[in-house]
Structures are given as C-alpha cells and as structure tokens.
Structure 1
Amino acid sequence: MTKALALAAGLLAATALPALAHTEDALRQSPPPAPFIQVSDALPLPEFIPGLGTLFVDPATLPAGPFLAYDRDGNLSATVYMTPLEELANGTSYDDLHVGAHNVSSVDIYYNAGHPGVEAPHAHVVLFHGDEARGRLAE
C-alpha cells in the first residue's frame, strides 16, 4: 500500500504541475475566484484547520480536489488532494489535477480516516508552495 500511495503522489505531482498556468495569479490570495467555495461555509469544519489552513474547493472536483489552502494572511500556501483509498485500490485514476501554484517546495502524504466532505478513509497529498508554507499553515 505504501508503494501505491507513493506512486499515486508522484503521478499527481507530475500531472498537476502544468495545469492552471493562466489562473495562478488569481489564486495567490484568498478568496480564489468562482467556482471555488470556502469549505467551512459548506461543511461543519472550522474556518482554519491547523496544518491545512483555510480551504477552498471547486465542488465539481470532489472528492480529490484540488483544495486550495491559505494561511491566516490569505496567502496560498498549499494545494491539497484527498483521494479515497478504496477508489485508488479499485483502479480509479485522478488525472490532470490542477495546482494552485507551480512552486512546490515539498510534498506530504498521510492517511486520514475520514471527515465531513470526504467521509471515506483517504490519503491527503499536500503540495506546499514555499519553504515557509508548512509553518504558516500550522499556526
């Protein structure tokens, strides 16, 4: 399973980097333009989630996302994907996923047992945009 998650993350990163080139500037500051909505306005989640920040998503891209993660100052800090493990195990592919910014300084992948919006167990794939992004989202 670890190899499958690593492979999935690599494929996500490789296919996502060329996307959203024409809208990257519009996504740098919160709130992003339509069709993105603030996750906490649609689901019973806090406005700011430590480690993930303030999340926005285009509902049409659920469950994978991308979820755009902003720090408390409204700066885009990460792009997050939430990929259900059962769907990955059954062969579902998430192709041509977008990113909020092309600068990706590091990637985290971790298990989540489920939460409002993505109730099934899933992997969080977090692409951090900048060396200090992780710290800005932790606060």
Structure 2
Amino acid sequence: MDPLSMVRQYNVNNKEIIAEGDNIIFGEFSWPKTVKTNYMVFGSGKDGAPKNYYTLECLLFLLKHVSLTHPSYVRRAAAANMPMVRRPDRKELLAYLNGKTSTATAIDKSAPLEIPSQVKRTVEDTSDSAAKKPRYDDSDVQN
C-alpha cells in the first residue's frame, strides 16, 4: 500500500480523495500531503545525483488541473507555492494515474515508502467523545 498506487486506484475508479488539514485520506488510509511517492522526478538519480520524488500533494494538484496546458499549470502551481510535475514526466505519469498503463519507467521500486495512518471515521467521531471515554477512580488505577 503506497501513496502513488492509491492515487492511481482512486483516480481510475473516480473515488473521492479527501484533503483534511495536512493529510490526504483514501478511505481508511491517510498520509501527510507532503509525503514522497516513489515516482522519481525527471533527471534525478542520474550520475550519482540524489533521487527526488514527487509528493502526494504535487500529484493531486496535477490531476486537479490536468485540463490546463502545461505552461498554465506551471503558473498555477507556482502561484499556489506547489511543487510541480515537470513536462518530461507529465505524459507518462498521467497515463499511469489514469490507468492507461500499468507501470511507468520513473516508478522506483526500491524507494523507501512511508506507512499510512489508519483513519477510523464513524458517526461517533462527530459526537462528544469525552462522554464515551471510560472513567476510572483511584481504586481502579491501583488494580
């Protein structure tokens, strides 16, 4: 379970991706929006240079503005202070995220991936949770 695969799965199936605070939520899984995916930025990792990866929010910003021409998308991303997908990556990345291809050459299978957080969203979360917590008196604590 990695953020890049989740973006692809949710995008292909037209499922809602929820941005809440600094997190991006996919059903019961959540990652920080700044988490790095395993999709390498064009030109990174060559000739001993460090590998750079697109962040989750960067990919979602591209999908949200996919109808823009690349120069317009770049201007919009810069105005939003958002990292942007480079032109050489755009076509192959979108083909992958839209389900037209099953993989992409820039996907780094050896990249370290962050484990998602589990999100439990129930009706109880919206009520006063303090009333639902068990109460202990001093004699219970000693036992």
TM-score tier after normalising by the smaller chain length: under 0.3
**Under a length normalisation based on structure 2, what TM-score does the superposition of the two structures give?**
0.22
Bigger Rg, which one: 2
Greater strand percent: which structure? 1
